[in-house]
Structure formats: C-alpha cells, structure tokens
Amino acid sequence: MARLKVAVLISGRGSNLQALIDACADADFPAGIVLVISDVPGVQGLSRAGKAGIPAAVVDGKDFEGRDRFEDALTGTLLEAGPELVCLAGFMRVLGDGFVGRWRGRLINIHPSLLPAFKGVHVHERVVEAGVRISGCTVHFVRPAVDDGPIIVQAAVPVHADDDADALAARVLSQEHRIYPLAVRLIAEGRVRVVDEHVLIDGAAIPEGALVNPVDG
C-alpha cells in the first residue's frame, strides 16, 4: 500500500516531528515524511530531519515582504515535494486565509490544550493559573481562526496541585507524542471524515481511538 506523503512544518525543537519520524520508521505505518520545512534557520528540528535522512528546507519569514509572499514560497516549496497532508508541529506563525484555504482538509495542527479551551500561547501558565483539574492536547484540522477547526484526536492529563507550567508542559508533551502519530495514522488509513465541521472516525459511532483518557505521570 502506498504511504501517505506528509510534510511537517516546524519552527523549533521538533519533538513532535521526532514522534512522527519515529512512527514513520515502522514499515507498517501508513504514512511517510517527504519534507520538513522550518521558518527559522538552525533549529533542532532541522537536525532531527537530517539525522533521519529526510529532505528539509528553510523558508525564512525574514526573507519575504509580507505574509502573502512568505506563504507563496511555502506553498511552492511544499508543492515540489507533493505532500498529501501538511502537519504543523510547533510552527509558530499564524497562517493566512489564502494558505489555509489552499490546503483545507490536508492541513492539521497540534495544540497543547483541550481545545476549544486555552487557545493561543502561554497555554500551560494559563492552565495552572486557572486552577483547572484536567488539561491535555488536541490534533485538529486547521481553519482560518487560530487554534480552531474540527478536532481529530485529544488526550487528557491531570493537572496536579503542585504543578508549575514546566511540569504540566512535560506531561502534556508526552501525550502529544502519542496523539500526533495516531491522528496521522487515522487520516492515512482513510478513516477520517469531516461532516458539518465535526470529525467522524470511520467505523466508530463514538470516535473510538480518538480519545485517550487521563493518565498519570
């Protein structure tokens, strides 16, 4: 079976990229990474791609005048690799309507909260500050609004009384590394449909496999 061609867009550390690289290293995994693009030169994620022998490119936001030109360059670079799915993995730029529309249905993101709660940045600080008991992470299709779009997979984690943002971030991150490959797998298996802006996982009335219950750690 042909593997789904995936491109991954990063801006930094690339630990989610690494989780996808590791998943794709399994010959039975139904997707493979054809290209990594960073909008920042010299980041750790680019080294991870290099070590895995995956083609990588830098499309540096600073080299372009305005978001449209940057996003045209991004699309041009993507098209050369012909991805069927584009994964944002710690990509720290807000993408415009043109780019999001161009890749609609083929563009997904991971966010370190249980969306639609805690959109935006400094998520874990705000979660701890709010005193909520459960947090988590979400993989979703990208829509023009920031951190918005049909939810594919979520994982929940407990928030402990003595957590600071770093402790919570680490607990959430370990779940991110589980659910991003899971979401890519579900899409690659052709099991994901969007109906009325809700994701349906083929063969499951309840989106079985799209929910990871709270875990400790």
Residue 160 annotated as catalytic: no
Task: Give whole-number Cα distances, 31 to 138, 187, 191, in Å.
Answer: 20, 9, 13
| 165 vs 200 by CB, closer to ligand GRF | 165
Q: Which of 93, 148, 90 is nearest to 115 (CA)?
A: 148
Residue whose C-beta lies closest to ligand GRF: 90
Letters for 9-28 (x = contact with ligand GRF by CB under 6 A, - = none) are ---xxxxx------------
Please tell me whether residue 21 adopts helix, strand or coil conformation. helix
Residue 200: CB minimum distance to ligand GRF, A = 24
Count of residues making up the chain: 217
Q: Scan residues 132-191 and list those touching ligand GRF (CB under 6 A).
A: 173, 176
Q: Scan residues 88-117 and list those touching ligand GRF (CB under 6 A).
A: 89-90, 110-112
| 163 vs 176 by CB, closer to ligand GRF | 176
Q: Tell me 177's DSSP state.
A: H
| 42 vs 66 by CB, closer to ligand GRF | 42
Q: Tally Cβ neighbours within 10 Å of residue 107.
A: 22
How far apart CA 9 and CA 78 sit, in angstroms, is 10
Residue 14: CB minimum distance to ligand GRF, A = 5
Peptide bond into 116 cis (omega under 30): yes
Known catalytic residues are 111
Residues that bind ligand GRF (CB under 6 A): 12-16, 89-90, 110-112, 173, 176
